[in-house]
Amino acid sequence: MLTSTCLSRDCPQSAGRNPVKYAVLGDIHANLEALTAVLEDARAAGCTHHACVGDIVGYNANPKECLETIREIGIPCVKGNHDEYSSANDVPQNLNPRAKAAILWTRQKLTEADKEWLRDLRYTRLVACFSIVHATLDSPRGWGYVLDKFSAAASFTYQTTSVCFFGHTHVPRVFMRDSVVRSCTYSKFKIEPGCKYFVNVGSVGEPRDGNPLAAYVIYDISQGSIELRRVPFDVDRTEAKLREAGLPGRAPQIALPRRNV
């Protein structure tokens, strides 16, 4: 686990008298119960801002409600692959059956205005002093997976901020580059000047690291710290909605992502 204790020098430490704390979330995947629980936890933890690394929709039964929640709060967001597929006309041939069924169903639930909003999302974005991307910085439209330090090294080449948050794998992990690239799981760590961090925030609605709780990150800019949060949500209600919608059930918790989702 990272234990460095220095503060980042390129971020504002406060907004007026208030500390700046970002709730960074992603891979919501139309899970309204999980999203609601995460936003409530972030509010209780004193978060002042939000950011989203994409995949608001897909898999679960509340795509429109989750999309409306993100839009109403005004959360800065980048485009995920499910956001792209659900707002397009074609379906990639390599999708697994559950993902494909959910995308086709989601298209029927979204209005043209919803789809246009998703289509207009950028693939990368600067938020305050950090950046966000769904998959990789070297090829953000390619939907590649960053699973090890070798794939992370390619993204570091294009990273212009000290911290970049990403998703897509649904597995929380931090990659750090100073003289070399290292990686590890994390619960909380502080940022060190001169280093770059590529941080996977886990998944709100479809965790896949063996932990069924919703995951997101709090970036406390005032303290220069990044903390992984785990939040329980009403799984039974989420699964009941899938059955009511005629969608495939949720996938069992797995340690690594499948590459065709």
- Look at residue 67 and tell me whether its pLDDT is greater than 50: yes
More confident: 253 or 143:
143
Q: What percent of the chain has pLDDT over 90?
A: 85
Phi-psi region of 14 (alpha: psi -120 to 50; beta: other; left: phi over 0): beta
pLDDT of residue 152: 97
pLDDT of residue 54: 98
Compute the distance between CA of residue 132 and CA of residue 121 in angstroms, rounded to an integer. 12
CATH architecture of 14-245: 4-Layer Sandwich (3.60)
- Look at residue 42 and tell me whether its pLDDT is greater than 70: yes
pLDDT of residue 154: 96
Beta-carbon contacts of residue 15 (< 8 Å; ≥ 6 apart) = 48
- Look at residue 2 and tell me whether its pLDDT is greater than 50: no
φ and ψ at residue 199, rounded to 5 degrees:
-115, 120
- Look at residue 84 and tell me whether its pLDDT is greater than 90: yes
pLDDT of residue 20: 96
pTM of the model: 0.91
Mean pLDDT in the chain? 91
- Look at residue 212 and tell me whether its pLDDT is greater than 80: yes
pLDDT of residue 249: 87
Longest dimension (CA), the chain: 52
Compute the distance between CA of residue 76 and CA of residue 70 in angstroms, rounded to an integer. 8
Eight-state DSSP code of residue 2: -
pLDDT of residue 261: 55
- Look at residue 170 and tell me whether its pLDDT is greater than 70: yes
Compute the distance between CA of residue 236 and CA of residue 242 in angstroms, rounded to an integer. 10
Contact status, residue 87 vs residue 63, Cβ threshold 8 Å: no
pLDDT of residue 91: 81
For 48, 65, 110, the CA distances from 169, given in Å and listed in that order, are 26, 23, 25
- Look at residue 59 and tell me whether its pLDDT is greater than 50: yes
- Look at residue 256 and tell me whether its pLDDT is greater than 50: no
